[in-house]
Amino acid sequence: MFNVLSQKMMLLKMFFKLENTLTQESSLSITGTVQEDKRSKGGVEIIASNINVVHIADEYPIALKDHGVSFLMDNRHLWLRSKRQFAIMKIRQRTIKAIRDFFDDRGFVLIDSPMFTGNAVEGTTTLFETDYFNRSAYLTQSGQLYQEAAAMAFGKTYCFGPCFRAEKSKTRKHLTEFWMVEPEMAYCDINQNMDIIEEFISYIISDCLKHCSQELEILERDLSKLENISSPFPRISYDDAVKILKDKNRDFKYGSDFGAPDEEAIASEFDKPVMIHSWPHKTKAFYMKRDKTDKYALGVDVLAPEGYGEVVGGGQREDDHDLLVKRIKEHKLPVDAFKWYLDLRKYGSVPHSGFGLGLERTVSWICGIDHIRQTIPFPRTMGRLEP
Amino acid sequence: MFNVLSQKMMLLKMFFKLENTLTQESSLSITGTVQEDKRSKGGVEIIASNINVVHIADEYPIALKDHGVSFLMDNRHLWLRSKRQFAIMKIRQRTIKAIRDFFDDRGFVLIDSPMFTGNAVEGTTTLFETDYFNRSAYLTQSGQLYQEAAAMAFGKTYCFGPCFRAEKSKTRKHLTEFWMVEPEMAYCDINQNMDIIEEFISYIISDCLKHCSQELEILERDLSKLENISSPFPRISYDDAVKILKDKNRDFKYGSDFGAPDEEAIASEFDKPVMIHSWPHKTKAFYMKRDKTDKYALGVDVLAPEGYGEVVGGGQREDDHDLLVKRIKEHKLPVDAFKWYLDLRKYGSVPHSGFGLGLERTVSWICGIDHIRQTIPFPRTMGRLEP
């Protein structure tokens, strides 16, 4: 809409001598005849026969000059009107559609995981808590456990909705409220899981390239970086990844998780997303299945290229009831809270795997923008709850 | 998946003499040749060459006998495996796809509204509150105000995500956590809004009829009730609706909202959704535009037929800055909290309208089921937070 308006406004100002009244962001309704005009950017012009001024705007606070980020974020409801933000929102919409189409077209059943959970099974440190009719409820950090129940019912399922993390983190990759898609598949091992992850990511990228060329042009995205994203992706073990860090003389303690600078150093070796598998089991959650050596968890993290960090985390789940109970105890978690989850290993347990892909990090990567806060309409961070 | 397994299990039990070990919900992997067999319900049979028992299930708690609702809800993670629940989930998935396709295909920009809001602008009674880094945040009840900002930027927008209401309500139509789609349109008045609502609802119903015939058959849904749903829908004023109640000798106080039994009495007069417009302004929110008489708010509620209640609420918004400030004060709301919302009336305000459609009530109606708790995978109600 703003495209048409801004182009026409120039023309109309001249024809209707409204220069002094038609301020930026004023609203008009124009009646006229559309005709082809190759000189126009949109390829058409309107020959106006009538013009109705709907609203004369006050002086618009966002000027063409550079504003600080804080000012723009305070005025997010207006900042959204800019061409760049419009392009990002369109790419976000297309990414969401691509994600849903991918799973819908492949026989996955959509099973929305709940937002409220009754148990803080892995500690309350990064959970948002609310009073729920005189008891505590916690906002979901991941729908995975529910997807496992769903996959045991329907074979292949996914959820796609908001997740919440109360992390005291101010990095450019963290939001307190973000969207995540989490598929889960019965009869699927870690290798098949990685096959699906690379097919999925490739699909999203190629779909956006196909449908968002105008938007990517507005963002001046280097398309060659995206055109390169297709199966297969490099697959390296955690130990291989550590070797890369050592070769680069980075200070890294074996057995810890990779920090953002580590991720960047590893990812910079590849021009495609790199899948890191076979993690020392202590780095991963209790529900991860281990490999035959019992040393490594069958988890996989996927790092996007160009320093965009982890976009996918996933793995094969422990499907044996007794081993799972053992793990819960090893992690000092309350077995009682997992009663329903353990049921899934009692009534027809099968090998199964899944993963989660963070929407905003993915959109950030596709758009080639440096801060995740621009990839969601109304971002929520540690210091930001408005507008 | 369960279809194939349950049919085959009968056959396999005989052939492989596993009668005593293959309990209900056990998992198998079967290798064999698929061949056509008209006697089979699915039209094919597998001539098995190998069978691998993956997991022998413990005695399954859900038997064929009738269980109480509370027991089934406690075992929702297993109850989902039943044929009826599968059918409902598939219809839910299709409804969601139809909703998204409708707006995506008509040029609406998807602008997810935030889940966290910093101000409890209309009181905290039905809001869930959380500690947000030493201040209060509230879970969203509606994304509408954000959609108004979005529609002023992009013309036509929508959001579709979870909403939360801490209502102390135990009716069969209430969840504390539910999904709602909320489109908002610039240059759209209440009548155009109603045009879009009826087009939208008709699209969802016809799309589900087209793609979910098997599922609707499992649910034994009377299809004639749905096949009838097409534009135009009856449009009656609030005063007309009150007249219906009076004619039926119902005790109703003019100027109040309709209760569930009132809604049923009104809806029973029609075999299509009925759109009730022109509400006494005191029954509606502060942001509703009034008609020329200043007596009525330009709101619209849509009641589904067959007693499924209100599925849509919407209206035209007040677009004049000063009138909106006046309304905020009349409703004794804090003007400061609406600073950003009022900005939308300063910088190019235009007539605009929108509405919200509740997903679960709509799925309930399509499926023809009597309680909303079956329309969401893991329902959350006043007394239910698990599993």
Q: What is the pLDDT of residue A123?
A: 72
Q: Which of B27, B111, B150 sits opposite A350 (nearest CB)?
A: B27
Q: How far apart are CA B73 and CA B68, in angstroms?
A: 9
Q: What is the pLDDT of residue A120?
A: 76
Instruction: Tell me the pLDDT of chain A averaged across its residues.
Output: 93
Closest to B150 (Cα-Cα) out of B315, B300, B341: B341
CB-CB neighbors (< 8 A) of A90 in chain B: 109
- Indicate which of A8, A375, A378, A380 best probes the interface with B, i.e. most B CBs within 10 Å of its own CB: A378
Contact A129 B130 (CB under 8 A): yes
Closest to A149 (Cα-Cα) out of A316, A352, A298, A332: A352
Name all domains of chain A by residue range, CATH numbers in brackets.
2-55 (no CATH), 69-375 (3.30.930.10)
What is the least distance, in Å, from the CA of B90 to any CA of chain A?
7
Task: Calculate mean pLDDT across residues B347-370.
Answer: 97
CA dihedral sign, ordered B323, B325, B330, B331:
positive
Q: What is the pLDDT of residue B1?
A: 44
Q: How confident is the model at residue B123 (pLDDT cuts 50, 70, 90)?
A: confident
Beta carbons within 8 Å of B76's beta carbon, 6+ residues apart: B377, B378, B379, B387
Give pairs for B104-108: CB < 8 Å, separation 24+. Answer: B104/A93, B104/A97, B106/B156, B107/B155, B107/B156, B108/B156, B108/B157, B108/B158, B108/B183
Q: How confident is the model at residue A1 (pLDDT cuts 50, 70, 90)?
A: very low
Helix axes A190-211, A83-104, angle to 10 degrees: 140
Q: How confident is the model at residue B353 (pLDDT cuts 50, 70, 90)?
A: very high
Instruction: Tell me the pLDDT of chain B averaged across its residues.
Output: 93
CB-CB neighbors (< 8 A) of A349 in chain B: 27, 54-55
Token code pair at residue A68:
């600080």
Q: Which of B100, B162, B382 sits opposite A133 (nearest CB)?
A: B382
Q: Which of A344, A385, A387 sits opposite B132 (nearest CB)?
A: A385
Contact B115 A177 (CB under 8 A): yes
Task: Calculate mean pLDDT across residues A371-387.
Answer: 95
Contact B150 A176 (CB under 8 A): no
Q: Is the peptide bond before A273 cis (omega within 30 degrees of 0)?
A: no
Contact A54 B350 (CB under 8 A): yes
Contact A166 B2 (CB under 8 A): no
- Indicate which of A27, A102, A146 best probes the interface with B, i.e. most B CBs within 10 Å of its own CB: A27
Share of chain A above pLDDT 70, in %: 95
Q: What is the pLDDT of residue B45?
A: 86
Query: What's this model's pTM, rounded to 2 decimal places?
Result: 0.94
Q: How far apart are CA B17 and CA B11, in angstroms?
A: 10
Contact B58 A346 (CB under 8 A): yes
Contact A109 B90 (CB under 8 A): yes
Q: Which of A112, A118, A346 sits opposite B377 (nearest CB)?
A: A112
Q: Which of A77, A112, A155 sits opposite B344 (nearest CB)?
A: A77
The answer to which of A332-346, B163-177, B277-291, B339-353 has the lowest mean pLDDT is B163-177
Q: Which of B116, B139, B153 sits opposite A385 (nearest CB)?
A: B116
Residue of higher predicted confidence among B350 and A10:
B350
Q: Which of A117, A168, A347 sits opposite B58 (nearest CB)?
A: A347
Q: Which amino acid is at B131?
A: D
Angle at A287 between CA A285 and CA A292, to 5 degrees: 100
Contact B139 A130 (CB under 8 A): yes
Gyration radius of chain A's alpha carbons? 25
The answer to which of A321-325, A331-335, B102-106, B265-269 has the lowest mean pLDDT is A331-335
Residue of higher predicted confidence among B279 and B125:
B279
Q: How confident is the model at residue A178 (pLDDT cuts 50, 70, 90)?
A: very high
What is the least distance, in Å, from the CA of A385 to any CA of chain B?
5
Residues in chain A, how many? 387
pLDDT single digits (tens) A61-103: 998 778 899 999 999 999 999 999 999 999 999 999 999 999 9
Contact A112 B179 (CB under 8 A): yes
CB-CB neighbors (< 8 A) of B162 in chain A: 115, 161-162
pLDDT single digits (tens) B9-51: 655 555 556 667 789 999 999 888 988 888 887 788 888 888 8
pLDDT single digits (tens) A233-252: 999 999 999 999 999 999 99
Contact B25 A86 (CB under 8 A): no
Q: Which amino acid is at A274?
A: V
Contact B131 A129 (CB under 8 A): yes
Q: How far apart are CA A26 and CA A202, in angstroms?
A: 42
Residue of higher predicted confidence among B169 and B203:
B203
Q: How confident is the model at residue A265 (pLDDT cuts 50, 70, 90)?
A: very high
Contact B349 A54 (CB under 8 A): yes
Task: Calculate mean pLDDT across residues A13-22.
Answer: 65
CB-CB neighbors (< 8 A) of A350 in chain B: 27, 54-55
CB-CB neighbors (< 8 A) of B146 in chain A: 77, 377-378
Q: What is the pLDDT of residue B146?
A: 98
Contact B132 A177 (CB under 8 A): no
Contact A380 B114 (CB under 8 A): yes
CB-CB neighbors (< 8 A) of B387 in chain A: 149, 340
Contact A386 B55 (CB under 8 A): no
Contact B315, B353 (CB under 8 A): yes
Task: Calculate mean pLDDT across residues B251-259.
Answer: 95
Contact A348 B57 (CB under 8 A): yes
Number of A–B residue contacts, CB under 8 Å: 216
Q: How confident is the model at residue A9 (pLDDT cuts 50, 70, 90)?
A: low
Q: How confident is the model at residue B120 (pLDDT cuts 50, 70, 90)?
A: confident
What is the least distance, in Å, from the CA of A197 to any CA of chain B?
22
Q: Which of B133, B150, B350 sits opposite A27 (nearest CB)?
A: B350
